[in-house]
Amino acid sequence: MTNIDEKMTASAVISATLDEATKTDPNLLVVTCDSRGSAGLVPFTNKHPERTVEMGIAEQNAVTVAAGLAHAGKHPFVFSPAAFLAMRSIEQVKVDVAYSANNVKLIGISGGNSYTWLGTTHHSLNDVAITRAIPDLEVYQPADKYQTKALFKYLVKSDKPAYVRIGKKKLDNIYQEDYEFVPGKANIVKEGKDIALIACGETLYSAYHAAELLKEDGIDAEVVDLQSIKPLDVETIAKLAQSFDQIITVEEHDVINGIGSAVAGIVAQYAHAKLTILGFPDEPAIQGPQDEVLHYYGVDAEGVYKKAKEILGK
Amino acid sequence: MNTLELKKKATELRKYTWQLIYEHSNGHTGSDLSCADILVALYYKVMNQTPENVGSPEADTYIQSKGHAVEIWYEVLADLGYISKKDLDDGYSKFNTPFIGHPTTHLKGMEFNTGSLGHGLGLGVGVALAAKMDGLSKHTYVLMGDGEQAEGSIWEAAMAAGNYSLDNLTAIVDHNDLQISGTTDSVMRSNPLDRKYEAFGWEVVEINGNDMDTVVKALSQPNTSGKPKLIIANTVKGKGITVAENRADWHHKIPSQEEYETGIKQLDAQLEALGND
């Protein structure tokens, strides 16, 4: 699955990719909310102080100011923990960014359960639900460093508002150096015939490793990287729904209106496939180290593996 | 335009606004009439902005944070040729119209969608900050309401404007002391605004916001303070029409036929007194 290249955090990849983009984009800015350290942007902000707009711990205003900057021709990337950006600032995202078509890129750092023991205030288990419900806002969740780099190269060129959720982990590399990001396109990461596992971002690894475990039991699982939550790859999902009897989605997100719901909306329209949505239940989430919490809710590789076996009756 | 001509223009546009609201039974009457003099001063005297250059790097930017007072802005933009007066009169508040009850970027001259209160000042900070970065001489004007001052986002923006010493940003508070539920002091006391904004790093002036000469002077005076400027424009909600003046319930009240006719007579009398021919 993985190649031997060095693993990197998404934020390190983003900092380097945006640094590279400054060579061709004189208007690129990063807007931070006392978040340059946690966003891994210090290399960028030290090198480009004139491209750094510090808004202090004021996420609502950061989004609104970024909209003003974008209107004036700048290309701002706003960095803030996903928990704050996708909830505290969401009305600013709706009105000043999406509704007003201002080219602001919203980068939700430390998404999902990444803040571990810091607790619910810092977890973003609803950000996909909220952002994907806003018209004219693209929503992405990259996994490895090549995908993150390709996504950000796309974002630098795109004039559309977008929300991106990233996590904190150094992730294995699934893709190759030459990976090109295509909005609205899901990727078949591993082909299979017995069951389809759909995920994106960090839970793509849960699906992938689960497929490896299933293989040992003679079950051939297909693994699909959704990557583009909005626009959604309706065609690919519809095909999966027609080709497979069983589909599992895996997300580090509340089961309400995350990627499982997005996929369900397509599956229900196009085919007979039964869909199982794995995610955080609609209850106050248990707290603790991320991997243990993901295991508890069955969204790690073992959880996906067990659920697939159970569904297939094997 | 001289002061007299500006006064006439403000009165004429109040009349059009009153007509528009009456004929379509929709609008924020008191709020429109309150800030008419400020809009006229900005558009006909102070701002470097035309239908041709609006939105360009050199043009001044106007952001109406108190988006609900959109009818007076429509009339200004129609009068100056940004938008069609006929389209406005025909389409206002109709199905699938761009002329809705809050500003939208579908219409020339409206650079931002506003209406949700507390956003305009932050948008202005963004535009003014970009102008500083690009070495542009353009100025950004933001009109806010006084009830709106309860929005926390305004104070985030006020802090940022002070922090970045945005002397190319002028905010005006249409300070009519009334909001939908009553006086601002009874709903949520934002006064004294001067001391609050000064503490946030602003230059503050307080004026009679319905006195054209004073409004023009306050808006035209070069800002040499090195700080963003706040103009507290003390105004009368519903200004110009007796039945609507200083009445919170006229925030979005629609005149009856009798009230409408009386209002028109009063505005005509004001125009006549100003020497309308």
CB-CB contact of A102 with A172 (8 Å): no
Chain A closest-CA separation from residue B68 CA (Å): 15
Contact B230, B219 (CB under 8 A): no
Q: What is the ipTM of this complex?
A: 0.93
Neighboring chain B residues of A56 at a CB cutoff of 8 Å: 156, 159-160, 163
B127, B142, B163, B168: best mutation site toward chain A, by most A Cβ within 10 Å? B127
| A6 confidence band (pLDDT: 50, 70, 90) | confident
Domain carrying residue A215? 187-308
Q: For chain B, positions 114-173, list CB contacts with chain A under 8 A.
A: 114-116, 119, 122-131, 133-134, 152-153, 156-157, 159-160, 163
Which positions in chain B touch A100 (Cβ < 8 Å)?
105, 112-113
Residue B142 burial (CB count, 10 A): 30
Token duo for residue B5: 């001509």
Tell me what pLDDT residue A5 has. Answer: 66
Q: Taking CB atoms and an 8 Å cut-off, how many pairs form between chains A and B?
A: 89
List CB contacts (< 8 A) between A58 and chain B: 156, 159-160
Do A56 and B126 lie within an 8 Å CB cutoff? no
Give A 22-61 residues with CB within 8 A of chain B.
50, 53, 55-56, 58, 60-61
Question: How far, in Å, CA of B230 to CA of B224, rounded?
Answer: 13
Q: Which residues contact A293 (CB under 8 A, 6 or more apart)?
A: A113, A116, A285, A286, A287
Taking residues B30-54, report their average pLDDT: 98
* A95 and A152 housed in the same domain: yes
Residues A161 and A79 in one domain: yes
Same domain, A145 and A205: no
CATH code (residue A218): 3.40.50.920
In terms of Cα–Cα distance, which of B272, B202, B274, B267 is closest to B239?
B267
Residue A179 lies in a domain: no
Q: Which of B62, B116, B119, B136 to mutate to test the interface with A (most CBs of A within 10 A)?
A: B119
Total count of domains within chain A? 2
Mean pLDDT of B240-269: 95
Q: Please write the tens of the pLDDT for every residue from A98-125.
A: 999 999 999 999 999 999 989 999 999 9
On whether both A120 and A210 belong to a single domain, the answer is no
Q: What pLDDT score does B252 carry?
A: 86
CB contact under 8 A, A60 and B152: yes
pLDDT at A22 over 90: yes
* B156 closest CB neighbour out of A53, A58, A68: A58
Structure confidence by residue, pLDDT tens digits, A145-183: 999 999 999 999 999 999 999 999 988 899 999 999 999
Average of per-residue pLDDT values in chain B: 96
Kindly determine whether residue B122 and residue A96, on different chains, have CB atoms separated by under 8 Å: yes
C-beta atoms of A96 and B112 within 8 A: yes
A277 is a domain residue: yes
Is the pLDDT assigned to residue A2 strictly greater than 50?
no
Inform me whether the pLDDT recorded for A1 exceeds 90: no
The answer to whether residue A75 is domain-embedded is yes
pLDDT at A248 over 70: yes
Cβ–Cβ < 8 Å for A148, A156: no
The CA distance from A92 to the nearest CA of chain B, in Å, is 8
- Listing DSSP states for B50-96 in one string gives -TTTTTSTTS-EEEESSTT-HHHHHHHHHHTTSS-HHHHHHHTT-TT
The shortest CB-CB distance from A68 to any of B113, B115, B127 is to B127
Q: Which among A60, A69, A100 has CB closest to B113?
A: A100
CATH of B3-273, one of 3.40.50.620, 3.30.70.100, 3.40.50.970, 3.40.50.300: 3.40.50.970
On whether both A162 and A16 belong to a single domain, the answer is yes
Residue range A271-311, pLDDT digits in tens: 789 999 999 999 999 999 999 999 999 999 999 999 999 99
Q: Which residue of chain A comes nearest to B127, CA vs CA?
A: A68
User: Does residue A180 lie in a domain region?
Assistant: no
| A142 and A14 co-located in one domain | yes
Q: Which residue of A has its CA nearest to B56?
A: A72
The yes-or-no verdict on residue A4 having pLDDT over 70 is no
Residue A204 and residue A161 share a domain: no
Q: Are residues A154 and A21 in the same domain?
A: yes
* Residue A138 placed within a domain: yes
**A228 and A146 within one domain:** no
CB of A67 less than 8 A from some CB of B: yes
DSSP state of A117: G
Neighbour-count burial for A218-257, b at 16+ CB within 10 Å, e otherwise: ebebbbbbbbbbbebbeebbbbbbeebebbbbbbbbbbeb
The whole-model pTM stands at 0.95
The Cα angle at residue B270 between residues B265 and B272, in degrees rounded to 5:
90
Partner residue facing A64 (CB), from B105, B111, B123: B123
Q: In this predicted model, what pLDDT tens digit does every residue of B112-148 receive, in sequence order?
A: 999 999 999 999 999 999 999 999 999 999 999 999 9
Q: For residue B276, what pLDDT is reported?
A: 57
Which member of A58, A69, A91 has the closest CB to residue B130?
A: A69
Predicted local confidence at residue A302, as pLDDT: 98
Q: Which one of B112, B130, B160 has the shortest CB-CB distance to A61?
A: B160
Taking CB atoms within 8 Å and a gap of at least 24, the contacts of B48-54 are B48/B138, B48/B139, B50/B80, B51/B80, B51/B81, B51/B82, B51/B108, B51/B109, B54/B82, B54/B108, B54/B109, B54/B111
- Looking at the fold, whether A146 and A89 belong to one and the same domain comes out as yes
* Beta carbons of B122 and A72 less than 8 Å apart: no
pLDDT 10s digits, B261-270: 999 999 999 9
Taking contacts as CB-CB distances below 8 angstroms, the residues of chain A near B105 are 100-101
Q: Tell if the CB–CB gap between B157 and A64 is shorter than 8 Å.
A: yes
Of the residues A143, A171, A199, the one at which a domain ends: A171
Kindly indicate the confidence band of residue A270, based on its pLDDT and cuts at 50, 70 and 90: confident
Question: For A40-62, what is each residue's pLDDT tens digit?
Answer: 999 999 999 999 999 999 999 99
- Would the CB atoms of B111 and A101 count as touching at under 8 Å? no
Q: Is the pLDDT of residue B99 over 80?
A: yes
Query: Is the confidence at residue A3, as pLDDT, over 50?
Result: no
Residue of chain A nearest B129, judged by CA positions = A69
- How confident is residue B251, by pLDDT bands cut at 50, 70 and 90? confident
Residues of chain A contacting B111 with CB distance shorter than 8 Å: 71
